[in-house]
Amino acid sequence: MNRDLAPANYLSEGAWPRAWLLTTDHKRVAWLYLVSLTAFFFLGGAFAVLMRIELATPAGDLVSDDVYNRLFSLHGIIMVWFFLVPSIPATLGNFLLPLMIGARDLAFPRLNLASWYVFMFGSLFALASVLLGGVDTGWTFYTPLSTLYANGFVSTAAFGVFIVGFSTIMTGINFIVTVHTLRAPGLTWFRLPIFVWTLYATSLVMVLATPVLAASLILIVLERVFGIGIFNPDLGGDPLLFQHLFWFYSHPAVYIMILPGMGVVSEVLPCFSRRPLFGYKAVALASMAIAVFGFLVWGHHMFVSGQSAYAGVVFSFLSFCVAIPSAIKVFNWSLTLRKGEISFETPMLYALFFLALFTFGGLAGLFLAALAVDVHVHDTYFVVAHFHYIMVGGMVTAYMAGLHFWWPKLTGRMYSEIWGRIAAAVTFIGFNLTFFPQYVLGFLGMPRRYHTYPPEFAFWHILSSAGAVVLAIGYLMPLLYLAWSLFRGARAPDNPWQATGLEWQTSSPPPAHNFDRMPTVTRPAYDYPMKGLTEKRSDPVEDLV
């Protein structure tokens, strides 16, 4: 890939395929994940595009209702479990965690590689269900639909997700142990970059929540394959139990998905405003608070399921509580920008878009946490819009910010700054065009998961479908110019953004052993503006012209 680069680095050693498929280097495992997750992202995205094309007209003319059920199920299953949950931790986290704490590798390099194989095995198992004819339960596998009525390959898909859970737990254990045991001398807990804090919080949730998902999926497979009726009322079971178990995992899981994104933004914002992160300790501890509170709010997915009114009130209150640490973060990020020397490079654009979209989506979450409002908008496009503002507007945008921020470190190459900024803007416009109309649709009463709708909803649906096309272009552009930069991009300096953090002190791309000299940390994180680097940075767009 980078054979023409002079110094030996982690990319140049060994020959494909052996040196990559049997590697235990965390940086190469990150690449294995990056390539497979990108494939899953575009596969899941393709299903979404098909859905939006179907919804461009009120009648069901492109696909049948049955096929539509399969489309949204596969979109959800692939995007949640095979992209969002592993996205930042397994790619950027895998690559950066050891670099950021000054270690040679993760605590268990072979476990790390094994986690990728387990991930691939499980995800291909689930993909097999697509080839066999699909799943029509939605990504939530609700019982009794999934156990008694679903006519798709539920067991295959559920078992695939179950296997991928092992990979998640492996990564979680590896990260926790690494952060505890492998920090460089002087790198105290409160000197850790926030990205490391959020990966740590994410790993805790991974390790403690994923087994509960495993339990619920085991029980589904036991019911479908062995006929043990835990969720089947005919056999004495209780279908609602599944929702409790499922959301006990899946609510914390949305924090698995968003916390690393918060970490990326906490790295990018200080760098491009040349200011230390405002309220470092509050942001670090807010990550832990989100991880803890996340376990106590699952019942807010079940306000209309017939749980007791008192349970509803308590879950509603706790859901408002979880907004507090998130708001602490948003305020601290905003105050970081204050009086900053802000510049708008591509990662910064994405980070600012994250800030806007996450705040907007988060506020919609408060609507949903309110009992009475939720009864009105439950199971409508309002929920879909809220979820996508956090997961796509928040998480995927943060992922793009991180990918662009650390791309020079990953590859040793610079991408085209102009194209980067254009793609960021296109994504932002396309995203809002796609998902803002869905808030309106949901509020007007359009239920989710229907492939036809009354003509009076057509205006908003057409806007949303048009936005999906723009969004798709916004996501395809980075695929092209980032791939192009691998071969033709300018060679990246060691620290192109003049950022703090240990990962920028080694070469780009780093050597296989990460650091030639063991780093020692004597300063707090985000020590901006950096001493001796205060001269004005040249404008990269100007340089290109």
Partner 1 sequence: MKSPMTSIAFDPPARETAAASFAMWVFIGSEAMLFGAILLVFMFARLSYGDAFAGAAKHLSLPLGTANTVVLITSSFAMALAHMYTAARRWRAAGRALAATALLGVVFLAIKATEYAREFGEGLAPVLGAPFIYKGPDPVHAEFFFGLYFAMTSLHALHLICGVIVIGGILALWPRTIEASRFRRVQAIGLYWHFVDIVWVFLFPVLYLINR
Q: Does 209 bind partner 1 (CB under 8 A)?
A: yes
Q: To the nearest whole angstrom, how small is the minimum distance from the Cβ of residue 245 to partner 1? A: 6
157, 163, 165, 171: CA torsion to nearest 10: -140
Contacts of 160 (CB under 8 A, 6+ apart): 122, 123, 124, 125, 126, 127, 128, 129
Q: Does 185 bind partner 1 (CB under 8 A)?
A: yes
For partner 1, the closer of residues 156 and 514 by Cβ is: 514
Q: To the nearest whole angstrom, how small is the minimum distance from the Cβ of residue 110 to partner 1? A: 12
Structure tokens at 288: 């832990």
Site string for partner 1, 74-103 (x = CB under 8 A): ---------------------------xxx
Q: Which residue in 392, 403, 398, 390 sits closest to 467, CA to CA?
A: 392
Contacts of 84 (CB under 8 A, 6+ apart): 257, 391, 395, 396
Q: Does 311 bind partner 1 (CB under 8 A)?
A: no
List, in sequence order, every residue forming a beta bridge with 491; answer none if it has no partner.
413
Q: To the nearest whole angstrom, how small is the minimum distance from the Cβ of residue 363 to partner 1? A: 31
For partner 1, the closer of residues 74 and 103 by Cβ is: 103
Specify whether the CB–CB gap between 78 and 139 falls below 8 A. Answer: no
For partner 1, the closer of residues 69 and 210 by Cβ is: 210
| Helix-then-strand count for the chain, H and E | 18, 0
Contacts of 273 (CB under 8 A, 6+ apart): 336, 337, 340, 341, 342, 528
Q: Does 523 bind partner 1 (CB under 8 A)?
A: no
Q: Does 224 bind partner 1 (CB under 8 A)?
A: no
Of the residues 120, 128, 148, 208, which one makes contact with partner 1 according to CB under 8 A:
208
Q: Does 107 bind partner 1 (CB under 8 A)?
A: yes
Of the residues 216, 359, 411, 508, which one makes contact with partner 1 according to CB under 8 A:
216
Q: Give the interface segment with partner 1, choosing from 42-50, 184-192, 354-362, 427-435 (CB under 8 A).
A: 184-192
Alpha-carbon gap, residue 249 to 253, rounded angstroms: 6
List, in sequence order, every residue forming a beta bridge with 396; answer none if it has no partner.
none
Q: Does 218 bind partner 1 (CB under 8 A)?
A: yes
Q: To the nearest whole angstrom, how small is the minimum distance from the Cβ of residue 395 to partner 1? A: 23
For partner 1, the closer of residues 167 and 346 by Cβ is: 167
Of the residues 42, 108, 331, 484, which one makes contact with partner 1 according to CB under 8 A:
108
For partner 1, the closer of residues 350 and 515 by Cβ is: 515
Of the residues 117, 149, 189, 317, which one makes contact with partner 1 according to CB under 8 A:
189
Q: Which residue in 446, 449, 444, 384 sits closest to 54, CA to CA?
A: 449
Assign 491 to helix, strand or coil.
Answer: strand
List, in sequence order, every residue forming a beta bridge with 413; answer none if it has no partner.
491
Q: To the nearest whole angstrom, how small is the minimum distance from the Cβ of residue 222 to partner 1? A: 6
Alpha-carbon gap, residue 268 to 499, rounded angstroms: 9
For partner 1, the closer of residues 184 and 469 by Cβ is: 184
Structure tokens at 92: 């950027």
Assign 380 to helix, strand or coil.
Answer: strand
Q: CB count, 10 Å around CB of 469?
A: 16
Site for partner 1 in 387-416 (CB under 8 A): none
For partner 1, the closer of residues 71 and 196 by Cβ is: 196
Q: Answer whether the bond into residue 89 is a cis peptide, omega within 30°.
A: no
Alpha-carbon gap, residue 295 to 342, rounded angstroms: 37
- The residue count of the chain comes to 545
Q: To the nearest whole angstrom, how small is the minimum distance from the Cβ of residue 152 to partner 1? A: 21
Of the residues 90, 150, 220, 245, which one makes contact with partner 1 according to CB under 8 A:
245
Q: Does 236 bind partner 1 (CB under 8 A)?
A: yes
Q: To the nearest whole angstrom, how small is the minimum distance from the Cβ of residue 318 to partner 1? A: 18
180, 181, 183, 187: CA torsion to nearest 10: 60
Of the residues 49, 53, 120, 241, which one makes contact with partner 1 according to CB under 8 A:
241
Q: Does 188 bind partner 1 (CB under 8 A)?
A: yes
Site for partner 1 in 264-283 (CB under 8 A): none
Structure tokens at 198: 């959020």
- Total number of residues that touch partner 1 (CB under 8 A): 48
Residue 256 φ/ψ, nearest 5 degrees: -55, -40
For partner 1, the closer of residues 106 and 398 by Cβ is: 106
Q: To the nearest whole angstrom, how small is the minimum distance from the Cβ of residue 172 to partner 1? A: 8
> Amino acid identity, residue 41?
F
For partner 1, the closer of residues 236 and 306 by Cβ is: 236
HSE-CB for 398 with a 13 A CA cutoff: 30
Q: SS3 for 382-447, per residue?
A: HHHHHHHHHHHHHHHHHHHHHHHHHHHHHHCECCCHHHHHHHHHHHHHHHHHHHHHHHHHHHHCCE
Site string for partner 1, 144-183 (x = CB under 8 A): -------------------------x--xxx-xx--xxxx
Site residues (CB under 8 A) for partner 1?
A: 101-104, 107-108, 169, 172-174, 176-177, 180-189, 207-212, 214-216, 218-219, 222, 226-230, 234-238, 241, 245, 248, 518
